[in-house]
Amino acid sequence: MDDELIDGLQNLVETTTAEAAIAEWWDLAGVSERPIFNYRFDHVREVVSLAQVLARDVGADADVVTVAAWLHDLAKPGLGGVKNHAKVSADMAEEYLRERGLDKEFIDRVSEAVSRHAGLTLDAPLETKEAQVVWEADKLVKLGIVGFVHFLLNTVRLTPDQSIRQMSHNLREFLPLAKQIADSMHTDLARELAQSRLDHLHAIAEMFSEELGVNE
Among candidate residues 100, 121, 142, the one where a domain is terminated: 121
Whole-number pLDDT of residue 69:
93
Per-residue pLDDT tens for 71-127?
998 888 776 767 888 999 999 899 999 998 999 999 999 999 999 999 999 899 999
Regions of the chain short of the pLDDT cut 50: none
Same domain, 16 and 67: no
Question: What is the pLDDT at residue 143?
Answer: 95
> Does residue 7 sit in the same domain as residue 28?
yes
- The pLDDT of residue 213: 85
Here the contacts of 42-50 (C-beta below 8 Å, separation 24 or greater) are: 42/150, 43/73, 43/141, 43/150, 44/69, 44/70, 44/72, 44/73, 46/141, 46/146, 47/72, 47/134, 47/137, 47/138, 47/141, 48/137, 50/136, 50/137, 50/140, 50/141, 50/193
User: Residue 112: CB partners within 8 Å, gap ≥ 6?
Assistant: 90, 128, 130, 131
Where residue 161 falls (left for φ over 0; alpha for ψ -120 to 50; beta otherwise) is: left
Tell me what pLDDT residue 156 has. 78
Pair 22, 91 in one domain: no
As a whole number of angstroms, the distance between CA 73 and CA 86 comes to: 7
Q: Are residues 47 and 117 in the same domain?
A: yes
Closest CA to 131 of 108, 148, 115: 115
Nearest to 150 by CA among 169, 133, 167, 173: 167
Quote the percentage of the chain above a pLDDT of 70.
86
pLDDT at 215: 56
Residue 203 counted as domain residue: no
Domain that holds residue 52: 39-121
Instruction: Look at residue 77 in the predicted model and tell me its pLDDT.
Output: 78
- Domain final position from 121, 146, 172: 121
In a domain, 91, yes or no: yes
Q: How many domains does the chain have?
A: 2
Tell whether 63 and 86 lie within a shared domain.
Answer: yes
* Pair 69, 112 in one domain: yes
Q: Tell whether 28 and 49 lie within a shared domain.
A: no
- For residue 209, the model assigns a pLDDT of 87
The answer to whether residue 144 is domain-embedded is no
**pLDDT at residue 12 in the model:** 65
